[in-house]
Structure 1
Amino acid sequence: MKTTIKVARSSMIALPLVLLGGLASAGGLSEPVATPAPAPITPAPVPMGADWTGFYAGGQLGYGELDNDALDDDTSGAVYGVHAGYLYDLGSVVLGGEVDYDASNIESDAPGDGLELDSVARAKLIAGYDAGQFMPYIAAGVAQATTSGAVDGDGTGNFAGLGLSYDYNGAIRFGAEVLQHQFDDFDDIDGLDIDATTATARVSFQF
């Protein structure tokens, strides 16, 4: 009788252990699987605009036309020269000043009889809009022109126009500019009013 009781007790103790072993082998007590944390999202880089502040200098090449009623003589030809200036970037507005000088072979079809433009020097004010790598701007100022041929002299006038600059890499800029000039009573000659239009392509280097 005592032997039977001992066997029963042993069976009651062993049964839960067998059941636990079976559950463990079936994966019932397996370790939980860790879920990896989501990878952080890196924001896309935001392109930075150009900083237009600083000194610059360069050259220009283009085309020009003269128009004067007194001499009944319209002339055209190439212009080429150099420029230097300083810009200050205020955020969305860019302000600055520039001086430039153009030599010219603008002359009439009959050299010596017509008006020939030898050179133009300008003092220029610039107001532009910072559009990132592009800067459209307006320009205005005072110009002095030197002529030969029918009028061998010089005169002072004013000009205004539009331009566009493109910042290529922070050190080199490409641009274009169209200016309209007006010289009244050129070389102190009453009634000799001369209009000039120039269109140039420009390359500048920022310092």
Structure 2
Amino acid sequence: MTKYTLPAVASLLAANMAFAGNTVAPAEDPVLTPAAPVATTPNWTGFYVGGQLGYANVDTNVAGVDGDDIIGGFVAGYDYDLGNWVVGAGLDYDFADIGLAPGVSVENVFRVKLRGGYKIGNGLLYATGGYANADTSTLGDDDGYFIGAGYEHLISDQFSLGGELLYHEFDNFNSTAIDVEATTIQLRGTFRF
């Protein structure tokens, strides 16, 4: 047993002497830390269809010719997600029965709109504007424009809820010298695909 012990001890002493003046510290194992999660926002790119319901107030430059009532209809469009920004185009068609004077009422409003906005989490804060056409019971229809703003929030990847405030203007409505201003505020729900 001594025959084997002596060589083993000699080997251990030689190994210790070989490392005895080493100035390089042994390398430490690297510490792995998980990467911070990257905040992501939903992708708004795609088509949508839905409905809206709200309130409209119509004023004219003729005394006593104004009114307000419920307005609502259908929306459709397409949005394109640019990262933090979203741009899109859409169509709105609203039914109405807003009495302005005896025998005169606004019956529907059609809009072709552009919108652009900034994403805030699952929401989109946007500005909008475009072409509008209003049809009345006795004065015919006329073209005008609208501007406004809104907020839409994705409840899921395929459904959003939002609200929109629009200001409309129709100058010299159907060549009658009547200037019409209308403000609408509506809640909307859209299915996205």
Q: Could you state the TM-score of these two structures normalised by the residue count of structure 1?
A: 0.74
1:14-25 equivalence runs, <5 A: none
**1:106 aligned onto 2:93:** no
- Counterparts of 2:152 and 2:34 in 1: how far apart (Å)? 33
* Stretches (4+) displaced over 3 A: 39-47
- Counterparts of 1:65 and 1:203 in 2: how far apart (Å)? 22
1:25-40 equivalence runs, <5 A: none
- Counterparts of 1:172 and 1:130 in 2: how far apart (Å)? 16
8 A Cα contact 1:89 1:130, kept in partner = no
1:117-156 equivalence runs, <5 A: 117-148=106-137, 151-156=138-143
What's the C-alpha RMSD, in Å, of the aligned pairs? 2.0
- Equivalent residue of 2:174, what SS? helix
- 1:202 paired residue among 184, 188, 193: 188
Structure 1 stretches lacking a partner, 5+ long: 1-12, 14-36
**1:75 aligned onto 2:67:** yes
Partner in structure 2 of residue 51 of structure 1: 43
In the alignment of these two chains, the number of paired residues is 166
**1:164 aligned onto 2:151:** yes
Partner in structure 1 of residue 162 of structure 2: 175
Deviation at 1:188, TM superposition (A): 1.6
Give the greater-gyration-radius structure (CA): 1
- Counterparts of 1:91 and 1:132 in 2: how far apart (Å)? 12
- Counterparts of 2:63 and 2:110 in 1: how far apart (Å)? 23
Q: Which amino acid aligns with 1:204?
A: T
Partner in structure 1 of residue 88 of structure 2: 96
Q: Could you state the TM-score of these two structures normalised by the residue count of structure 2?
A: 0.79
Partner in structure 1 of residue 178 of structure 2: 192
- 1:60 paired residue among 49, 52, 57: 52
Q: Which stretch of the first structure deviates more once superposed, 54-63 or 123-132?
A: 123-132
Structure 2 stretches lacking a partner, 5+ long: 3-28
- Counterparts of 1:47 and 1:105 in 2: how far apart (Å)? 46
Could you say which structure has the higher strand fraction?
Answer: 2
Partner in structure 2 of residue 85 of structure 1: 77
